[in-house]
Amino acid sequence: MPEIATSEWEIVLFYNPNHPGSQKTLAYAKGEGLPLRDVDIIKNQFTGTQLEELAGRLGLPIDGLVNKEHPHYDKHYANANFDDEGWIKIMRKNPALIKEPIAIRGHKAIIVNTPSDLSRL
């Protein structure tokens, strides 16, 4: 049974409020009047199971959820070789390292590159 509750009737948007791309995506969704449940990933920590579920829905390996363009990644993890459990611990401890925003509607999930990507859901 999935841990992340989703619906065909609303978009669940996981975002970092400190990231400009997330702010734009959230503003776009609200401005378009899209049915939305927004989840701040800094305040609402993912469980390991939720991270595994997100990766699965996106069709990515666990380390595919890591934002390798984040300065903290370059400084601390660029040459690291962790297994899935290691990456899960790192993302739970440092949620700003998670690629985002991530949008889910029903069974479909995407990493939002531009706010208009939400229309693909």
Task: Give the HSE-up count for residue 60: Cα atoms under 13 Å, Cβ half-sphere.
Answer: 18
Helix, strand, coil shares, percent, the chain, to 5 = 45, 20, 40
Give the pLDDT confidence of 57-88 residue by residue, as tens digits.
999 999 999 999 988 888 888 888 899 999 99
- 20 pLDDT band (50/70/90 cuts)? very high
Q: What is the pTM of this model?
A: 0.91
For 88-105, the pLDDT digits (tens) are 999 999 999 999 999 999
pLDDT at 44: 94
Distance CA 35, CA 51 (A): 23
Calpha distance 12→106 (Å, rounded) = 9
The CATH superfamily assigned to 11-107 is Glutaredoxin (3.40.30.10)
Above pLDDT 70, what percent of the chain? 98
Residue ranges per domain, the chain?
11-107
Residue 76 has a pLDDT of: 87
Residues 55, 51: Cα–Cα separation, whole Å: 6
Torsion of CA 14, 16, 22, 28, to 10 degrees: 60
33-64 tens-digit pLDDT: 889 999 999 999 999 999 999 999 999 999 99
> What was the pLDDT predicted at 58?
97
C-alpha 45/C-alpha 35 separation (Å) is 23
User: How many residues are recorded in the chain?
Assistant: 121
